[in-house]
Amino acid sequence: MAAPVTPPRGMRDFLPADKARREHALGVIRGVYASHGFDEIETPVMEDSHRLHAGLGGDNEKLAFAVMKRGLTGDDLRTAAEAGDALALADLGLRYDLTVPLARFYATHRAALPPVFRAIQIAPVWRAERPQKGRYRQFVQCDIDIIGEAGPLAELELLNATLAALDALGLGGCAIRLNDRRILAGILASWGVPEELRERALITIDKLDKIGPDGVAAELRDLGVEQADVADEIRQLAAADWHLHDGVVPPPAWLDLDAYADLRALRAALPGAAIEFDPTLVRGMGYYTGTIFEIAHPDFGYSLGGGGRYDGMIGRFLGQEVPACGFSIGFERIVDLLEIADDARPRAVVLVHDADVPPLRLVALKSELVASGTRVRLERRVKNLKALLDRVTADGFDAFATVTAATDGADSLSFRDLA
């Protein structure tokens, strides 16, 4: 039996049409973000293990791929196994998101960066997920972040740029869900969740759409929450009709009024956007400290991206607090929804040539067409011409022309549409 030739589980190959769709979408996103004043950077695919496991990544830290140290011996392996400490064998790991690397990047290069730094990062990340539909072990993230801006201007710029990018991709009409970690802290305090267990409790609440209010309440009881009606309170939080523009009257005892005022200010500053307050919105990463948000489209039952403020992360690396806020588009979720418009790509033609056409003439014809902005592929004539034309049509080509030994130049070619 032949050995399997498929990619590793949870990773994918991309055929030319798929790759073209992805690159088109990435180009649109890059262009919009650049027009909003963001600059693209690049960081290594690996980071030191102690940074990736600093307690900031929530459950994603458990999904980080570790890279084993060089020169390990059998004794090293036995010692680590006996201690149950697999990380003792690894000093590096593949990044599981782009925010931790950005924080390290800023701490490294702060002197060379402007006081308020607007960053684009578009790159693959890796997580040891259980592969399933929509979940991959390697996938692309599209992040924008603003570092050094403590006020609401950062959130406004991020949301504006993201909505513009989605609109440019043909995904207009999106809605924004807002919450604040300070509000979540008030809710957990009202339930009696100890301070040291609140991050674990937030991870539990983040599972609400998967395990429901009763499942969340059961896990919270395991953390020591004794309040009997937690499941009912969660249902009320999720079902309430919150109006940021009107405020909450009277406000619940758990509501952080300063945080709620900040959310109302964001709502007022984005009058053209559909914005709602959702006190059950968590965002699973442990590094969020303030405003958090997600964007969804009415035609799809899932988030198209999200982010929030993470003012405490860079201080872990720099020893000095620096405000930061970021947003990540769920690229793998949206790319399959997109179609490349005919006017968004160059004309693509195929030159079907006889075997006796000199190569130099073929290259000259091709170069002449390429110089005019046309994409060109050379294909030798075959008996089953229909199969050849069906294949190049599937590859995104628009027209074809036949080249014979008598063909003089590009002006003499007669193109026929492929459709």
Cα separation, 134 vs 264, in Å, equals 34
Q: Is residue 6 part of a domain?
A: no
- The predicted-structure confidence for 309-360, as pLDDT tens digits, reads as follows 999 888 888 888 999 999 999 899 888 777 655 555 778 999 999 999 999 9
Pair 412, 283 in one domain: no
What mean pLDDT do residues 294-308 have?
A: 88
- Identify the pLDDT of residue 123: 97
Whether residue 245 is predicted with pLDDT greater than 90 in this model: the reply is no
Global pTM value: 0.85
Of 328, 332, 335, whose CA–CA distance to 98 is shortest? 328
Of 158, 154, 175, 169, whose CA–CA distance to 31 is shortest? 169
Confidence of residue 41 (pLDDT cuts 50, 70, 90): very high
Cα separation, 169 vs 255, in Å, equals 37
Q: What is the dihedral of CA 75, 77, 82, 84, to 10 degrees?
A: 150
Alpha-carbon separation of residue 388 from 129, 326, 413 (angstroms): 39, 47, 19
Cα separation, 388 vs 225, in Å, equals 66
What mean pLDDT do residues 294-305 have?
A: 86
Pair 114, 157 in one domain: yes
Alpha-carbon separation of residue 98 from 181, 325, 326 (angstroms): 21, 13, 10
Q: Which of 301, 335, 369 is the last residue of a domain?
A: 335
- Listed in order, strand segments (DSSP E) in 102-160 are 117-126, 138-147
Q: Is residue 207 part of a domain?
A: no
Beta carbons of 181 and 311 less than 8 angstroms apart: no
Q: Is residue 161 part of a domain?
A: yes
Q: Which of 270, 305, 335 is the last residue of a domain?
A: 335
Q: Could you tell me the CATH number of the domain that includes residue 247?
A: 3.30.930.10
Of 305, 298, 39, 340, whose CA–CA distance to 165 is shortest? 305
Confidence of residue 168 (pLDDT cuts 50, 70, 90): very high
Pair 413, 291 in one domain: no
Pair 245, 368 in one domain: no
Q: What angle, rounded to 10 degrees, do the helices at 208-222 and 198-205 form?
A: 150
Q: Is residue 221 part of a domain?
A: no
Name the domain count of the chain. Answer: 2
Beta carbons of 147 and 217 less than 8 angstroms apart: no
Of 405, 345, 355, 403, whose CA–CA distance to 375 is shortest? 345
Whether residue 202 is predicted with pLDDT greater than 70 in this model: the reply is yes
Q: Could you tell me the CATH number of the domain that includes residue 412?
A: 3.40.120
Pair 364, 260 in one domain: no
Pair 269, 131 in one domain: yes
Pair 274, 369 in one domain: no
Pair 279, 143 in one domain: yes
Pair 322, 410 in one domain: no
Domain that holds residue 143: 16-189+238-335
Pair 168, 28 in one domain: yes
- Identify the pLDDT of residue 231: 84
Pair 313, 394 in one domain: no
Identify residue 57 by its one-letter amino acid code.
Answer: G
Pair 83, 50 in one domain: yes
Q: Is residue 92 part of a domain?
A: yes
Alpha helix segments (H runs only) across 248-308:
257-269
Distance, CA of 218 to chain centre:
31
